[in-house]
């Protein structure tokens, strides 16, 4: 499984740092939704789902967390610990977020609005779904 982790351009000067993200330029899709998680309690795992169509970029803009990616055949763990790093998660990838630092703010840029119908929240259903795709 190919893991796509972007290192966004940082505009730094004596005042500090700035990262700017433009759709279809720095981000490989049109951004229709932005959401973020913060105040995540210790030892909490979130996610546990895949999407049928949605594409997302995860950016831990403060603190750190880990993301487990699973394409049904292979699993990979990616650490997000820099505010200029973005992890791309395509459709059909089961994902879990965990090991959130107490100060973690996980920002997500998404290619579409929130549709519960796009979620696959059952792992067996996920395996069936991807096996029927190919
Ligand atoms: P949930 O899907 O449980 O988060 P995760 O699976 O990533 O841990 O989402 C928590 C709640 O927030 C749930 O009631 C649905 C709601 N929600 C929205 O209303 N819009 C959104 O864009 C997202 C991601 C969640």
Annotated catalytic residues are 49
Quick check: 5 and 78 in contact, CB under 8 A?
yes
Confidence check: pLDDT of 134 > 80? no
For the Cβ of 28 lying below 6 angstroms from any atom of ligand 1, the answer is no
pLDDT digits (tens, 9 = 90+) for 61-100: 999 999 999 999 999 999 999 999 999 999 999 999 999 9
Radius of gyration of the chain from its Cα atoms, rounded to whole angstroms: 15
Question: What's the 1 CA to ligand 1 centre distance in angstroms?
Answer: 26
Helix intervals (H) in 64-114? none
pLDDT digits (tens, 9 = 90+) for 108-117: 999 999 999 9
Question: What's the 47 CA to ligand 1 centre distance in angstroms?
Answer: 9
For the Cβ of 114 lying below 6 angstroms from any atom of ligand 1, the answer is yes
The pTM for the full model equals 0.96
For the Cβ of 49 lying below 6 angstroms from any atom of ligand 1, the answer is yes
In 10 A of CB 92, how many CB atoms? 18
């Amino acid at each position: 499984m190919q893991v796509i982790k972007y290192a966004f351009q940082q505009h730094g000067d004596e005042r500090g740092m700035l990262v700017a993200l433009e759709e279809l330029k720095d981000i490989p899709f049109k951004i229709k939704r932005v959401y973020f998680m913060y105040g995540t309690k210790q030892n909490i795992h979130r996610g546990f789902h895949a999407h049928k169509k949605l594409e997302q970029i995860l950016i831990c803009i403060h603190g750190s967390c880990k993301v487990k990616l699973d394409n049904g055949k292979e699993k990979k763990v990616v650490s997000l610990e820099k505010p200029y790093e973005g992890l791309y998660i395509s459709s059909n990838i089961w994902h879990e977020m965990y090991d959130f630092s107490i100060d973690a703010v996980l920002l997500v840029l998404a290619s579409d609005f929130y549709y519960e119908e796009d979620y696959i929240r059952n792992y067996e259903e996920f395996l069936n779904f991807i096996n029927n795709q190919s």
